[in-house]
Amino acid sequence: MKNKEIAKILFELSELYEMKNVPFKPRALERASETIDSLTEDVIDIYKEGGIKALENIPGVGRGIAERIEEYLKAGRIKEYENMKKKFPVDIAGLSSIEGVGPKLINLLYTRLKIRTVLDLEKAAEAGKLKGLPRMGAKLEAKILKGIEFKHEGGGRFALGEVLPMAREIKTRLLKVRGVETVEVAGSIRRRPETIGDLDFLAISEHPAAAAEFFARMPEVSHVYGHGETKVLVRLKSGIDADLIILPKKSFGAALQYFTGSKDHNVEVRKLAIKKGWSLNEHGLTRGKKMIASETEKEIYEKLGMDFIEPEMRTNRGEIEAALAHNLPKLIGYGDLRGDLQVQTSWTDGKNSIEEMAREAEKFGHEYIAITDHTKFLAMTGGSDKKKLLRQMAEIDKIQKKFRKLKILKGAEVNIMRDGSLDIDDETLAKLDVVGAAVHSLFNLSQEEQTARIIKAMENPNVDILFHPTGRVINKRKPYEVDMEAIIKAAKRTGTILEIDGHPWRLDLKDEHIRMAREGGVKMVIDTDAHSVSEMSYLEYGIAQARRGWCEKKDIINTLPLKEFLKALK
Ligand code: DGT
Ligand code: CA
Ligand code: CA
Ligand code: ZN
């Protein structure tokens, strides 16, 4: 799939034109970049099926952009981009990902200080060199340093949602290579944490050389670090590293267990082997020279006296003890949800209509979907006031008639104000089926004030769900200060449901809070926070998050049929 690469080039092109103060072009390129980035369909397939005409049918893609995409698909490059890049050899995407850095500044940084990378920028900021630039004060310099620091804390790691589709795509292609019998993506990807350092592929093949050759020559590879007979290490154009290890079938389980990690989990498992006088490594579980188990992970865990531990739980936070005592939770499954509960539409800042979102929900086999557009305090999204909400409710009644099985629930994502009140009156809220409340302002309040404000909102009998309870955005914004223990207690007392927001940039609640909520007897929902039909596939990230928080089916109320689900709300 080339979508990500194309989206990145279009984005950089838009910034390059913006630096030159070219009108209109930058916006058009940026819009096209965003759409292509969120397409579920592969641009290559679209092109193969319908040529340049089909490309032009992608929303936001006009003739000019379609031609550029065609050029990239045919020649593997876009001449215009390469020429501009030659004159301006700067890591634009990297620099723009820092809070406070835009195209104008990137231009200034390069022409005045020859800054090309985030590292160059960091050095210059630390040396106090930025202050001397026009329109650049100490305050902006400090903001940039803070932005860089926050990025470092993420360690340059990629969000799971950025790399999982790519990993799956590579796996599919590897499976077609001659002699390849099995491929697994091991490492962190298999455990589904929020961010990923690099990709670890394992394959069984009778012709390791063919698989290795294929992997090293994949079109998305930008650099080959090493290419042996059974091991290949590469960097991909998207900036992430990937390894492939090719193994014989008989040791695949041991290798999969070893390379799935986490390292902390493995260390503890190996200790159990050592206690028995055995040894465990990527080749197998052995007693002296005798092989005890190696072909499947399950055998290895069983021989060590444990139940099989799902990859999402392998963090060494109690799962080994639970597996030895045979009381691991039976985790919620990836097919267990019956509906999506946070969905924005073109009534506010979503890209698709209510009907389009509902059709997509049908495709997923959902029984219900809640339409939860923003409300008026979020003015920039066109948030609904009372009148608009009432109009939308009437519209939903109309659209509902076109659907036989799917129930379209009327909802809203209301804003929690400073004093814990909401931006829509209770009488109107009472008419909705589902009300989610969220903090979208005043992220810097003290923990005491923030917590009190949220609890006040939870006490409102119309508030069913607390949306994205900590407000963090992965690699971009820290969570606000909030006492999660107090929130969980309040959820229990008031019967408020906590959301596990599956949007890959949010994943909020996070795993440890999910576990706390579950142990506190609080129910949760998993939803997508989708702003377009393509984002409705994000449920799987929410489910992974719930599994990492040890959730069973009964902990998540949108596993229930519609009637019971509605009863579980306030
Ligand atoms: P990442 O890539 O940072 O998101 O995280 P991982 O877990 O994929 O880490 P990575 O790619 O360095 O290594 C893949 C797996 O290999 C890791 O989860 C566990 C295993 N592994 C790597 N190094 C060691 C080690 O020194 N000891 C043990 N027991 N396992 C290791
Ligand atoms: Ca890895
Ligand atoms: Ca690795
Ligand atoms: Zn929104």
Q: Which of 164, 188, 272 to mutate to test the pocket of ligand 1 (most atoms within 8 A of CB)?
A: 188
pTM: 0.80
Interval between CA 255 and ligand 2 midpoint (Å) = 14
Residue 477: per-residue pLDDT:
81
Residue 400: inside a domain:
yes
pLDDT given at position 154: 60
Contact 527, 546 (CB under 8 A): no
Q: Give the whole-angstrom CA distance, residue 369 versus residue 208.
A: 47
**Structure-block tokens of residue 549:** 């928080």
The domain that holds 532 is classified in CATH as 3.20.20.140
What the block records as the tokens of 125 is 């900021």
pLDDT given at position 152: 66
Mean pLDDT score of the chain, rounded to an integer? 93
**Do 291 and 170 reside in the same domain of the chain?**
no
3-class secondary structure, 500: strand
Domain final residue, candidates 224, 247, 270: 247
Q: What is the CATH number of the domain that holds 33?
A: 1.10.150.110
* Residue 128 banded pLDDT, cuts 50, 70, 90: confident
**Is there a single domain that holds both residue 173 and residue 49?**
no
Q: Ligand 1, closest atom to CA 262?
A: 18
Token digits of residue 112: 């005045």
Ligand 1 within 6 A of CB of 262:
yes
Q: Ligand 3 centroid to 220 CA: how many Å?
A: 17
Q: Does ligand 1 lie within 6 Å of residue 156's CB atom?
A: no
311 lines ligand 1 (CB under 6 A): no
Atom of ligand 1 nearest to the CA of 243: 11
**Residue 163: CB within 6 Å of ligand 1?**
no
Task: Answer yes or no: is 329 within a domain.
Answer: no
pLDDT at 69 over 80: yes
Residue 332 lies in a domain: no
- Does residue 305 belong to any structural domain of this protein? yes
**Which ligand 1 atom is at minimum distance from the Cα of 187?**
8
Strand ranges of the sheet holding 290-293, from the earlier edge strand across to the other edge: 279-281, 284-287, 290-293
The tens digit of pLDDT for each residue in 483-518 reads 999 999 999 999 999 999 999 999 999 999 999 999
The two tokens of residue 111 are 């022409």
Q: Specify whether 149 is located in the same domain as 162.
A: no
The reported pLDDT for the residue numbered 393 is: 98
Distance of alpha carbon 112 from alpha carbon 226, whole angstroms: 38
Q: Closest Cα partner for 26 from 36, 13, 7?
A: 13
Q: 532-567 burial by CB neighbour count: b if 16+ within 10 A, else e?
A: bbbbbbbbbbbbbbbbbbbbbeebbbbbbeeeebbe
Question: Does residue 37 line the site of ligand 1, with CB under 6 A?
Answer: no
Q: 266 in ligand 1 pocket by Cβ < 6 Å?
A: yes
> What's the CATH number where 308 sits?
3.30.210.10
Q: Considering only CA atoms, which residue is closest to atom 3 of ligand 1?
A: 197
The segment with the largest mean pLDDT, out of 121-130, 131-140, 397-406, is 397-406
194 in ligand 1 pocket by Cβ < 6 Å?
no
Mean pLDDT over residues 323-352, rounded? 96
Statement to judge: residues 66 and 165 lie in one domain:
no
> In what helix (H) or strand (E) does residue 292 lie, and over which residues does it extend?
strand 290-293
CA nearest ligand 1 atom 28, residue:
263
User: Would you tell me how many other CB atoms lie within 10 Å of the CB of residue 322?
Assistant: 17
Same domain, 233 and 89: no
CB 368 within 8 A of CB 553: no
**In the prediction, which pLDDT does 93 show?**
82
CA 530–ligand 4 middle distance (angstroms): 8
| Residue to substitute in 184, 185, 200, 235 for testing ligand 1 pocket (most ligand atoms within 8 angstroms of CB) | 200
Q: Is 251 in the pocket of ligand 1 (CB under 6 A)?
A: no
Residue 550 within a domain: yes
Tell me the C-alpha distance between 144 and 96, whole Å: 11
Ligand 2 mean position, distance from CA 261 (Å) = 9
Q: Which atom belonging to ligand 1 lies closest to the Cα atom of 260?
A: 18
Q: Which atom, in ligand 1's list, is nearest to the CA of 270?
A: 29
Tell me: the pLDDT tens digits for 339-398? 999 999 999 999 999 999 999 999 999 999 999 999 999 888 889 999 999 999 999 999
In a domain, 331, yes or no: no
- Check residues 533 and 38 and name the one with the higher pLDDT: 533
What mean pLDDT do residues 156-167 have?
A: 90
| 320, 354: one domain | no
**Residue 333 resides in a domain:** no
Q: Is the pLDDT at 40 greater than 80, yes or no? A: no
| Non-local CB neighbours of 229 within 8 Å, separated by 6+ positions | 208, 209, 212, 246
At residue 495, the pLDDT reads: 98
d(CA 493, CA 337): 25
Q: Which atom of ligand 1 is nearest to the CA of 193?
A: 4
Residues of the domain holding 400: 339-568
Q: Which two tokens stand for residue 527?
A: 């939803």
Give the residue among 522, 485, 477 at the shortest CA–CA distance from 500. Answer: 522
The reply to whether 305 and 348 lie within a common domain is: no
Which residue puts its alpha carbon closest to atom 20 of ligand 1?
A: 259
Domain end, chosen from 112, 128, 153, is at 153
Q: What are phi and psi of 236, to 5 degrees?
A: -95, 160
pLDDT band with cut points at 50, 70 and 90 for residue 191:
very high
- Residue 279: exposure state from Cβ atoms within 10 A (0-12, 13-18, ≥19): middle
Residues 6 or more apart in contact with residue 379 via CB below 8 angstroms: none
Query: What's the CA angle centered on 520, arms 516 and 526, to 5 degrees?
Result: 65
Predicted pLDDT at 192 = 98
For residues 384 and 283, membership in a common domain is answered with no
Could you give the percent of the chain with pLDDT greater than 90?
Answer: 79
In sequence order, which ranges of 199-350 are alpha helices (DSSP H)? Answer: 208-216, 252-260, 263-275, 297-303, 319-324
Question: Which pLDDT score is estimated for 145?
Answer: 82
For residue 562, CA distances in Å to 369, 370, 382, 467 come to 10, 11, 30, 20
Is 476's pLDDT higher than 70? yes
Give all strands (DSSP E) within 373-464, no chain letters: 407-415, 434-438
* 82 CB-near residues (< 8 Å, 6+ apart): none
For 2, the token pair is 């080339």
Nearest to 228 by CA among 243, 241, 206: 243
CB of 243 within 6 A of ligand 1: the answer is no
Confidence of residue 42 (pLDDT cuts 50, 70, 90): confident
Give the nearest ligand 1 atom to 267 CA.
Answer: 29
Instruction: Dig out the tokens for 439 from the structure.
Output: 């903090």
**Length of the chain in residues, anyone?**
570
Rounded CA gap, 556 and 339, in Å? 11
User: HSE (CB half, 13 Å, CA atoms) of 190?
Assistant: 20
Spatial distance between the Cα atoms of 242 and 216, rounded to a whole number of angstroms: 10
CA 257 – ligand 2 centroid, Å = 13
In this structure, of 51-65, 120-134, 318-332, 456-470, the range with the lowest mean pLDDT score is 120-134
Decide which of 201, 228, 247 is a domain's last residue: 247
How far apart CA 426 and CA 432 sit, in angstroms, is 10
pLDDT of residue 153: 64
Tokens 């390894």 locate to: 243
Q: What angle do CA 79, 81, 86 make, to 5 degrees?
A: 95
- The arithmetic mean of pLDDT across residues 290-307, rounded, is 97
Residue 467 sits in the same domain as residue 363: yes
- Give the range among 89-93, 247-251, 314-318 with minimum mean pLDDT: 89-93
Q: Within a domain: residue 278? A: yes
Higher pLDDT, 254 or 120: 254
Answer for the pair 306, 323: CB distance below 8 angstroms, yes or no: yes
Q: Report whether residue 187 contacts ligand 1, using a CB cutoff of 6 Å.
A: yes
239 lines ligand 1 (CB under 6 A): no
Ligand index nearest the alpha carbon of residue 467: 4
Q: How far is CA 267 from the centre of its chain?
A: 28
**pLDDT bracket for residue 274 (50, 70, 90):** very high
CATH of the domain at 197: 3.30.460.10
**CA of 263, nearest ligand number:** 1
470 burial level (CB within 10 Å; 0-12, 13-18, 19+): buried
Domain count, the chain: 4
Residue nearest to atom 18 of ligand 1 (CA): 261
98 and 214 belong to one structural domain: no
* Residues 122 and 178 occupy one common structural domain: no
pLDDT of 556 > 70? The answer is: yes
- Burial tier of 225 (Cβ tally within 10 Å: 0-12, 13-18, 19+): exposed
Whether residue 361 sits in one domain with residue 319? no
Q: Which two tokens stand for residue 254?
A: 């041991």
Helix (H) or strand (E) holding 414: strand 407-415
Q: Is the predicted pLDDT of residue 56 greater than 90, yes or no?
A: yes
Determine if ligand 1 sits within 6 Å of the CB of residue 261: yes
